[in-house]
Chains A and B, each alone.
Chain A
Amino acid sequence: MSAARSVLSLSKILQPWTGLKGSTVSVMRPVMCTRREKSSYTPPPAKYGGRHTVTLIPGDGIGPELLNHAQELFRFCCVPVDFEVVNVDSSLTSEDEINNAVTAIRRNGVALKGNIETNHNLPPSHKSRNNLLRTSLDLYANVMHCQTLPGVQTRHKDIDIIIIRENTEGEYSSLEHENVPGVVESLKIITRVNSLRIAEYAFRQAREKGRRRVTAVHKANIMKLGDGLFLQCCKEVAAGYPDITFDNMIVDNTTMQLVSKPQQFDVMVMPNLYGNVVSNVCAGLVGGPGLVPGANYGKDYAVFETATRNTGKSIANKNIANPTATLLASCLMLDHLGLHDYASMIRKAILRTLSETRLHTADLGGQGTTSEVVQSIMKEVQKGGPLTSEKI
């Protein structure tokens, strides 16, 4: 909302109040004012009788089966969350389905989604559905917390990195053109507003979680204006947080450091494409794409999914996918809704199951199946004991 528009509406409101006319005309004017802001109306959250309503977008590949398991687990644990399932078919070229999904998320405020496949063979006018969702809802921050999980064998130990990635602009602006045949220009957009926003988010998260260091990842030696602006915005924001150390690193050096000494990193903030690369590297460091959950936050909406956004078409419906990432993402969603007790209960059960090597799925080097893992998680939840009303 621009300041100019707010001032305009403000001046219109001031007149009736200071005039104290009391006629119907002065009362009607404020009502008409708000018509201009009708499009920015954020509805109250969909929580009735203690139960929340959350949009569920199954997506493609392993999405539907893993989200089914998440629903089952929620039902088993009596979590007061109802899912509104919205299917998005990736093969259709019309944008109605994704707009439906966006409206559903606007209504409910929170969503849990699987990845929607984007087929390269379709014409370029067919935009990525995931990207459309992120930009329509302005989910500007993608947060991924990579931690070494107990029970998973990795080459590096004690990794604890939070990656905050700008989610709406950068290389993913979908702006490309071919002015001269054979010469394609792809526009990477970096804006001051968005860079300030993401830097502000990163520093605030660092402060809230008690982190000491924020590293900005960039390639400003080559893209002097673009990444230079990003870096400058990060520096400006860093000045307001004197208790947090701020440094920056070029993306090639970053990836090399990540694979040799990942323990040096704490919080990392970066534009879109570097974020994609770095988050996948970190996911690989802690055990693979099946283990790390991700969250996309906007001002009013939040969408939770796996961090590396894989469709997993080759392992779909074979019962070998790792459900950990999806289930941990649903725990993040429960935390966001304020249901911290349920979230910690399910998270504890997942971590306890993960430490059992014989239940590891194929991506972790074991032979377990998805359903075995989910069953074991449910058993762990039950072992936690039925918490009767006497304990409250």
Chain B
Amino acid sequence: MRTLIKGYGIRFDIMVFGKAGKFHVVPTLLNIGAGLGLMGLGLSGVRLQPLCVRSLSLTASQNATLESPPARADSTFKVTMVPGDGVGPELMTAVKEVFKSGDVPVEFEEFHLSEVQNMASEEKLNEVLTSMKNNRVAIKGKIHTPMEYKGELASYEMRLRRKLDLFANVVHVNSLPGYSTRHNNLDLVIIREQTEGEYSSLEHESVSGVVECLKIITREKSRRIAKFAFDYATKKGRSKVTAVHKANIMKLGDGLFLQSCAEVAELYPKIKYENIIIDNCCMQLVQNPYQFDVLVMPNLYGNIIDNLAAGLVGGAGVVPGESYSAEYAVFETGARHPFAQAVGRNIANPTAMLLSAANMLRHLNLEYHSNMVSEAVKRVIKQGKVRTRDLGGYSTTGDFVRAVVANLRHRPLH
């Protein structure tokens, strides 16, 4: 990295990357008001601005390994698996059994990363990251964060998310056919910014007895998540994006988030953009959730609304979720809980994990297998004979998995 201009109190560095002499000019001090004007001024003196080069990803891992692996026409796909804590390993066993019965060409690379069971360390984290760099797709359970402060403010899960830059969490809340709740036929997408906000892990106690917790909102990340939300809405044919905020209280922070969303909304004239305050949003969700289509919000509100919406359609055992970065995709449940009370009792509901695994297959372009798994799960739930305890039945996890496997084999031939 060579320092290009050290003027105006801002350092511009050039990072020269491997291929064909591409240059990126990265302002190291993110001046909030700088925008593009400053960059233009800084660059005009040096004829180094290349034509049409945009950083293809905003992650820190920009180097020669950014190239995609060669295409796989018909081979097994490798996927990283991190079972996590609580019922995570049981749910992963369920996924593996269903995949084995369905002859799904996916191979799992397992890593047991866990903070509460003292199996977490920097080396383990790096192993997981290396595996992710190769496979680019992962399926994981919840890595539980212990309540006590052991000297590290950021949990392993948060560190993993930051290193992979998994900035968007998508939870598609869909009512399950055959299981009726107080709100039926719900179809809602919740998009949550996952790397900053209240989860920045920046806390300090300057004066004893007074703790300051920093909530960070940046323009770049807000724009990024807003663009993700609108791109998602465009791709899935959704008509409305609602930003959830508390800008009447946090005028600058959530105000910046709202402003970024409004800016990005201008590029999508066909999609309606609205915003709603978080308290009103929660109330509306429990009274009339049908008015919402796609919701986009910062970190903490997202956490709350994810769980709330999951509760509307049947609980944490039912809703799948995924996290995206520019290069990686991680599939997990929508509402992330380790559910430690159910460990060993064989009562956890594997629906969420199985539906998430089906989404993962779709992401890997294995449409046929994806439909097979998700149809089987939905059929079992619709038939209503085998239901786990959280949906009001008496079956165990094992029974449910066996029912899904049976439905895999009796799939109708088209």
What residues of A have a CB within 8 angstroms of the CB of B252 in the complex? 24, 27-28
What residues of A have a CB within 8 angstroms of the CB of B235 in the complex? 53, 82, 84
Q: Is B372 an interface residue (CB 8 A)?
A: no
Give per-residue flags for B108-143: 1 if the beta carbon is below 8 A from chain A beta carbons, else 0. Answer: 000000000000000000000000001111000000
What residues of B have a CB within 8 angstroms of the CB of A3 in the complex? 40-41, 44
Number of interface residues of A (CB under 8 A): 75
Residue from the list A34, A38, A387 in contact with B72, Cβ < 8 A: A387
Q: Is B264 an interface residue (CB 8 A)?
A: yes
Q: Is B13 an interface residue (CB 8 A)?
A: no
Q: Is A184 an interface residue (CB 8 A)?
A: no
**Which of A73-81, A151-159, A244-252, A321-329 is near enough to bind chain B?**
A73-81
Chain A interface secondary structure, helix, strand, loop or mixed? helix
**Contact yes or no, B35 A33, CB < 8 A:** yes
What residues of A have a CB within 8 angstroms of the CB of B325 in the complex? 48-49
- A274 CA to B238 CA, complexed, in Å: 46
What residues of A have a CB within 8 angstroms of the CB of B213 in the complex? none
- A297 CA to B54 CA, complexed, in Å: 13
**Which of A5-13, A187-195, A257-265 is near enough to bind chain B?**
A5-13
**Contact yes or no, A106 B267, CB < 8 A:** yes
**Contact yes or no, B32 A31, CB < 8 A:** yes
- Near B by CB (< 8 A), chain A positions 1-33 give 1, 3, 5-7, 9-10, 12-14, 16-17, 24, 27-31, 33
Q: Is B256 an interface residue (CB 8 A)?
A: yes
Least CB separation from A384: chain B residue: B73
Q: Is A40 an interface residue (CB 8 A)?
A: yes
**Contact yes or no, A46 B227, CB < 8 A:** yes
- A381 CA to B74 CA, complexed, in Å: 12
**Contact yes or no, A84 B267, CB < 8 A:** no
- Near A by CB (< 8 A), chain B positions 19-71 give 20-21, 31-38, 40-41, 44, 47, 50-52, 54-58, 66-71
What residues of B have a CB within 8 angstroms of the CB of A341 in the complex? 67-71
Q: Is B203 an interface residue (CB 8 A)?
A: no
Nearest Cβ in chain A — how far from B122, in angstroms? 25
Least CB separation from A340: chain B residue: B67
**Contact yes or no, B75 A49, CB < 8 A:** no
Residue from the list B8, B75, B168, B267 in contact with A48, Cβ < 8 A: B168
Query: A residues engaging B (CB < 8 A)?
Result: 1, 3, 5-7, 9-10, 12-14, 16-17, 24, 27-31, 33-34, 37-38, 40-51, 53, 75-80, 82, 84, 100, 103, 106-107, 109, 141, 200-201, 204, 208, 297-302, 336-342, 345, 381-382, 386-389, 391-392
| Minimum-distance CB pairs A-B, first 7 | A30-B33, A49-B329, A388-B75, A6-B37, A6-B41, A34-B35, A9-B37
